[in-house]
Amino acid sequence: MTESKVVLHFPPHLVDKPLIYKLSRDFDLEFNILKASVTPQEEGILVLELKGDDDNFQHAIAYLKENGVDVQALTQDINLNYELCIHCGLCVPICPVSALVKDGETDEVKFVKEKCIACELCGKVCPYNAIEVSLNA
């Protein structure tokens, strides 16, 4: 079983193709859309959480690449800029997956990247612009 978060970049000519439907029908993958920005005639970006059999997963990724989709693992998308963060903790109860937590000893806010699902809720509420969101995985 493989479970992974991926960032898909669609060139404009692929935006109207039902590629994600294929992931589910032909490769039996479960998908959860974390972010979608798809506009006709423009490059589309889709952040997905994919889950399925190891072989199917590999084949699905190969299929996407063959069709001209740029596939990257979701890693660096959200970052906490500790230069700007004041460790208030306003973001902590907003994060739905506890990727932002307060250290019980130091009271500092810690960002646990492995848990982050890139929903960007924290970026909206941070009063100091300390959450950096980039789609360049």
Partner 1 sequence: MTKTIQEINEKIKKGQAVVVTAEEMIEIVRKKGEKQAAKEVDVVTTGTFGPMCSSGAYINIGHAKPKIKLGGGEVYINGVEVYAGFAAVDIYIGASSLPPDDPRNKIYPGEFRYGGGHVIEELVAGKDLVLTATAYGTDCYPRKELRTLINIRDLNEAVLFNPRNCYQNYNVAVNLSDRIIYTYMGTLKPKLGNANYCSAGQLSPLLNDPYYKTIGIGTRIFLGGGTGYIAWWGTQHNPGVERSENGVPLSPAGTLAVIGDLKQMKPEWLRGTSMLGYGVTLTVGIGIPIPVLSEEIAYYTSVKDEEIYTQIVDYSKPYPQGISESLGQVNYAQLRSGKIRISNKEVPTGSLSSYVKAREIANILKEWIKQGKFLLTEPVAKLPQAESDYKFKPLKIREV
Binding site for partner 1 (CB under 8 A): 86-94, 102, 104, 106-108, 124-125, 127-129
Q: For residues 18 and 104, which CB has a smaller minimum distance to partner 1 in the complex?
A: 104
CA angle at 134 for the pair 130 and 137, rounded to the nearest 5°:
130
Number of Cβ within a 10 Å radius of residue 137: 18
- Dist CA 37 CA 16 (whole Å): 13
Nearest approach, Cβ of residue 111 and partner 1 (Å): 15
Nearest approach, Cβ of residue 131 and partner 1 (Å): 12
CA angle at 30 for the pair 134 and 2, rounded to the nearest 5°:
75
Nearest approach, Cβ of residue 123 and partner 1 (Å): 10
Nearest approach, Cβ of residue 127 and partner 1 (Å): 4
Q: For residues 21 and 82, which CB has a smaller minimum distance to partner 1 in the complex?
A: 82
Q: Minimal CA–CA distance to 14: which of 60, 57, 72, 65? A: 65
- Dist CA 123 CA 129 (whole Å): 7
Nearest approach, Cβ of residue 15 and partner 1 (Å): 26
Q: For residues 88 and 135, which CB has a smaller minimum distance to partner 1 in the complex?
A: 88
Q: For residues 42 and 108, which CB has a smaller minimum distance to partner 1 in the complex?
A: 108
Q: For residues 87 and 115, which CB has a smaller minimum distance to partner 1 in the complex?
A: 87
Q: Is the dihedral of CA 4, 51, 61, 45 positive or negative?
A: negative
